[in-house]
Amino acid sequence: MVQAVRGAIQVEKDEPSFIESGVQRMIEEVIKKNSLEYEDLISIQFSITPDLQSKNPAAALRIEGFSTIPLFCSAEPQCDGMLPRMIRTIVMFNTTTKIDVTPVYLDGAEKLRPDLFE
């Protein structure tokens, strides 16, 4: 069975080190909170706000050894009122039984889903 879980993080600055550490932390939390194994991962997709240009999140995750999992990044559409410096993800994974996934929103990204954090 294929399932997916969402996540997001707001990084402090548009600098490669902030994007790298933010992406790595967000994915580690998604994996940990959902008890996923590397072997279960199918693919990971990222989107970033237009103000993040110094590092591609997929490239940032490859540094951590995620080289056999397909990674993809796209740009968020420019929208009025959008939060700055935001990286979003959707992690697709295999599971033998349906699980209740736990989304991960960090460092200000909680504002994207207030319904989950009330």
How far, in Å, are 53, 70, 75, 76, 91 from residue 29 at the CA level? Answer: 24, 19, 23, 22, 12
pLDDT > 70 in the chain, percent: 98
**Which residue in the block uniquely carries the two structure tokens 């399932």?**
3
Whether 111 has a pLDDT exceeding 80, the answer reads: yes
Question: For strand 71-75 and strand 104-106, is the pairing parallel, antiparallel, or unpaired?
Answer: unpaired
The first and second tokens of residue 32, run together, are 């940990």
Instruction: Provide the pLDDT for residue 52.
Output: 94
Domains of the chain (ranges; CATH) run: 2-116 (3.30.1330.40)
**Global confidence as pTM:** 0.91
19-49: pLDDT as tens digits? 999 999 999 999 999 999 999 999 999 999 9
Whether 117 has a pLDDT exceeding 80, the answer reads: no
Instruction: Provide the pLDDT for residue 113.
Output: 81
SS (H, E, C) the chain: CEEEEEEEEECCCCCHHHHHHHHHHHHHHHHHHCCCCHHHEEEEEEEECCCCCCCCHHHHHHCCCCCCCCEEEEECCCCCCCCCCEEEEEEEEECCCCCCCCCEEECCHHHHCHHHCC
46-81: pLDDT as tens digits? 999 999 999 999 998 988 778 899 999 999 988 888
